[in-house]
Structure 1
Amino acid sequence: MFFGARLAPNTDIYFNPEVVSCVPFSGLVGLGGFTNGEATKTNGAQAKFYSARAFLRQTFNQEGDKVVLENDANQITQTVNSNRVVLTAGQFSTLDIFDDSKYAKDPCIQFMSWGNMTYLAYDYAADARGYSWGLAGEWYLDNWVLRASRMITPKTPNGLNLNWQIFNAYGDQFEVERQHTIGDLPGKVSVLAYRNKMILVRFQDATNYLIANNAQGTQAINNVRNNYQYKTGIGINGEQALTKTLGIYGRAFTSDGHTETMSFAEADNSISVGMSLNGAGWTRPFDTIGISMMQNGLSSFRRNYLQAGGISYFIGDTPSPHAGPGQTINYRPERVGEICYNALLVKNVLLGVNFQHINNPAYNSARGPVNIASFRVHAEF
């Protein structure tokens, strides 16, 4: 549910209670880019109630043209200036602020794969459900947007409990976005960088532990996690409308690859491209069809850990007859193709169908391919 109130002309407060019941495929293991962006929010058939967002938003208008922000979830209708500063403080998702995309963002109504929610290799600070607490600032300058934030991290990687020592453990991000038009058709390009600080495992240390203790087939990362580490990454995102009904997008990202995953997916580099087509051409203007291709990869440090017999949170394999001597996986980049169609049934109710084809799941050519078909109904009231 989405609650909001305007405390003053440029001051809003929002609260989103959420309830989820979910049993993810394979216990949420066995893939780098999982098939459902909502599947991380709980693990069990019993419904879980919690706060997803509780934040304050303050807008400081400067000179510029008037812009109307239409009424939407977590947005009360508001007239702002094209030049403005926006501060968001409280509980929210890092992805609420960063890496926005018109064509590939929301797994409820667009593509479902994790690699289409954001850059798969973007290890953004969040609890196990994808939310955190922090402060974010946005500076709008006509066609430019500068964004920065600091968010708190989980106490342990991919954990639900958060570490409130924001000066000792944190996730920082900075993004520059440039909006443009080509032949009156909108597009934009953005560059995003992050730096995390947290007690994390370096894969080289975990690999050394595996070999020294003959601990193959275990989560050895849990035995050598005792020092604060920095983890960094950078990526680029672009999108462009080609016609009034057809748009394309692409994302590419790389992380340093020395340390384990803090909050998101098991990937150190990722690239995704796709297109979205509105149904106006077949007299269904509220329908959309999307097609995407993704490739996810691992750094040599994470790969060496897995090939030495290590198990991580989401990936890792026992010895395969197809692997090389002393290797538990035969490494290949994970490749995902996704196609979705969303149809408007009645006002505010969408029916979606989705198909994903995955080669080399969990970066092992001895696995797969895997085909996942799904459907969903999305309603807003």
Structure 2
Amino acid sequence: MGRRRLGLRGGAFQVAKRINSLSLDPQPLRGFQLLAQADRFYALGGRPGALRLLLGLSRTRAQRWDALVEGDIIATEVSPTGASTLKHMVVLNWEQELRDDLGAFARASWNDGRTQNWMYTEMDWALSAGLSWTGQRWGRAGDTVGLAGNIGGLSPSHRRFLEAGGIGFITGDGRLAYRTELAAEAYYRWRAAPGTDLTADLQVFGNPAYNADRGPVAVLGLRLRTAF
């Protein structure tokens, strides 16, 4: 870290031409995402830590949730008029080394929730935290154990869309008993060889897709990663 206490980053990105699609909008002034991040590095008790503030602005051909409910509720792929809307977002992230083999993080994220979620996932606010241990204490310094949890929810207008029978690109089944979605994850990453990791993962979801009538759901995973 040295003397570098502050960091600034920025980026401009293309967005999907249609909701959650692989094709990108070729017109940068019609569809884009702008991100700016400020980092503050510090030491607490001699242990390094960081605070990161991320601000974002997206312009896509999404519709407002209220307009979908009042108009054609199934016209979710792209705005029928070709008009674009803006979405604002903010993320605050904290990272802290607690011991030589233990680190912690916490994150709070929010978007204004007035328009459709256009890419990645359908969530308007979230709080998450977790811990990560390396395997030094049991002679496996290259291994990692992780534990994390997340709680996420929807904006009022997004809820009204789903309650009216709307279907998003991930959520919606025609009926909604709204609850915040809960997620917990535990994993063990085994360093099989230099550049090769094998990870066993368990995830448990409560109220999946924000519906108290669904779940809980457990997901087991096994991942192999090789870099060369």
Using structure 1 for the length normalisation, give the TM-score: 0.57
Q: CA–CA distance in 1 between the matches of 2:159 and 2:226?
A: 42
Note if 1:362 corresponds to 2:214. no
Corresponding residue of 2:103: 247
Q: CA–CA distance in 2 between the matches of 1:156 and 1:224?
A: 9
Note if 1:150 corresponds to 2:20. no
Q: CA–CA distance in 1 between the matches of 2:207 and 2:28?
A: 38
Corresponding residue of 2:62: 200
What are the equivalent positions in structure 2 for 1:149-188 lying under 5 Å apart? 149-188=11-50
Q: 1:206 to 1:378 in 2, by over 3 A?
A: same
Give percent identity, aligned residues only: 29
- Check the 8 A contact 1:205/1:224 in 2, yes or no: no
Corresponding residue of 2:135: 279
Specify the code of the residue in structure 2 equivalent to 1:221. T
Q: CA–CA distance in 1 between the matches of 2:193 and 2:11?
A: 39
Q: CA deviation at 1:379?
A: 1.8
What are the equivalent positions in structure 2 for 1:177-326 lying under 5 Å apart? 177-209=39-71, 219-222=74-77, 225-226=80-81, 227-318=83-174
Q: CA–CA distance in 2 between the matches of 1:357 and 1:260?
A: 26
- Check the 8 A contact 2:19/2:169 in 1, yes or no: no
Q: Which of 171, 177, 189 matches 1:330?
A: 177
- Check the 8 A contact 1:206/1:224 in 2, yes or no: no
Q: CA deviation at 1:276?
A: 0.1
Root-mean-square deviation (Å): 1.7
Specify the code of the residue in structure 2 equivalent to 1:251. R
Q: Which of 317, 324, 341 matches 2:188?
A: 341
- Check the 8 A contact 2:18/2:78 in 1, yes or no: no
Q: CA–CA distance in 1 between the matches of 2:36 and 2:193?
A: 40
Unaligned stretches of 5+ in structure 2? none
Specify the code of the residue in structure 1 equivalent to 2:55. A
Corresponding residue of 2:227: 380
In terms of fraction of residues, the more strand-rich structure is 2
Unaligned stretches of 5+ in structure 1? 1-66, 68-81, 83-140, 319-327
Specify the code of the residue in structure 2 equivalent to 1:335. L
What are the equivalent positions in structure 2 for 1:64-143 lying under 5 Å apart? 142-143=4-5
Q: CA deviation at 1:232?
A: 0.4
Q: CA–CA distance in 2 between the matches of 1:181 and 1:317?
A: 48
Specify the code of the residue in structure 1 equivalent to 2:76. I
What are the equivalent positions in structure 2 for 1:28-67 lying under 5 Å apart? none
Specify the code of the residue in structure 2 equivalent to 1:361. P
Specify the code of the residue in structure 2 equivalent to 1:369. P
User: Per-residue displacement from partner, 1:160-183 (whole Å, max 9, x unpaired)?
Assistant: 121222123211111110011112
User: Per-residue displacement from partner, 1:3-28 (whole Å, max 9, x unpaired)?
Assistant: xxxxxxxxxxxxxxxxxxxxxxxxxx
Using structure 2 for the length normalisation, give the TM-score: 0.94
Q: CA deviation at 1:347?
A: 2.7
Q: CA deviation at 1:153?
A: 1.7
Q: 1:317 to 1:205 in 2, by over 3 A?
A: same
SS in 1 for 2:35: strand
Specify the code of the residue in structure 2 equivalent to 1:146. L
Q: CA–CA distance in 2 between the matches of 1:224 and 1:238?
A: 37
- Check the 8 A contact 1:198/1:230 in 2, yes or no: yes
Q: CA deviation at 1:313?
A: 0.8
Q: CA–CA distance in 2 between the matches of 1:222 and 1:285?
A: 47
Specify the code of the residue in structure 1 equivalent to 2:152. N
Count the aligned residue pairs: 227
SS in 1 for 2:224: strand
Q: CA deviation at 1:225?
A: 4.1
Q: CA–CA distance in 2 between the matches of 1:223 and 1:176?
A: 33
SS in 2 for 1:303: helix
Q: CA–CA distance in 1 between the matches of 2:98 and 2:210?
A: 34
